[in-house]
Amino acid sequence: MASEPYVLAVSQDAAHGFSKLPARTIGVIAGMGVAGDAHAGETVQHLSRVAIDPSQPNLRQVHLIHAELFDELAAKGFVVKPGDLGENLTTRGVDVLALPTDARLAIGLDAVLRVTGLRNPCAQIERFMPGLLAQVVDRRPDGEIVRKCGVMAVVEASGSISPGDRIAVTLPPPPLRALERV
């Protein structure tokens, strides 16, 4: 029997950089994101998106990556630690890439995140570690791109999140919609 999904690590950074710093606990604020993180806000905070339209809603308040990706990368010789790829939450035991749009993740005592879409791997990954971008993007036999760099979410209920916190997944009502990049 598989163990219950949980948070392996939490990370945040007030600066607009690529990697995020490990933390003991992060606070998430409904409608805003991770307290003290450069990407928190009601409207887009990712600099490339701000340049296009700063009034867009922020569907990328919290970035989650499954630790199983790091296991896969390690087997190929790439050592990646929690926070290295800019994620706020590193999870274990939940296939975040298989979640549908609007899946809800209840984490710890109070926090609730709603999954909005896939993180789009970008050139910053290659600058971080040469050869890594090719490992986090794949193609299905039909040619469709598979993005493996985690998912983005918005905060629906405020709370604190720490390593070891359990994750309970609630699927939205049918029809389920596959994740698209946001």
pLDDT tens sequence across 9-36: 999 999 999 999 999 999 999 999 999 9
Task: Flag whether 172 is in a domain.
Answer: no
Residue 89 within any structural domain of the chain: yes
Domain that holds residue 142: 6-165
Q: Is residue 1 part of a domain?
A: no
Q: Do the domain assignments include residue 177? A: no
pLDDT digits (tens, 9 = 90+) for 144-172: 999 999 999 999 999 999 999 999 999 99
Give the pLDDT score at 2. Answer: 54
Give me the pLDDT at residue 48, please: 80
pLDDT of residue 151: 98
Q: What is the mean pLDDT of residues 45-71?
A: 91
CATH number for the domain harbouring residue 47: 2.40.33.20
> What's the 3-state SS for the chain?
CCCCCEEEEEEECCCCCCCCEEECCEEEECCCEECCCCCCCCECCCHHHHHHCCCCECCCCEEEEEHHHHHHHHHCCCCCCCCCCCCCEEEECCCHHHCECCCEEEECCCEEEEEEEECCCCHHHHHHCCCCHHHHEEECCCCCEEECCCEEEEEEECEEECCCCEEEEECCCCCCCECCEC
User: Is 118 contained in some domain?
Assistant: yes
Mean residue pLDDT across the chain: 95
- Residue 1's pLDDT is what? 38
For residue 170, tell me if it sits in a domain. no
Q: What is the mean pLDDT of residues 109-118?
A: 98
The number of domains in the chain is 1
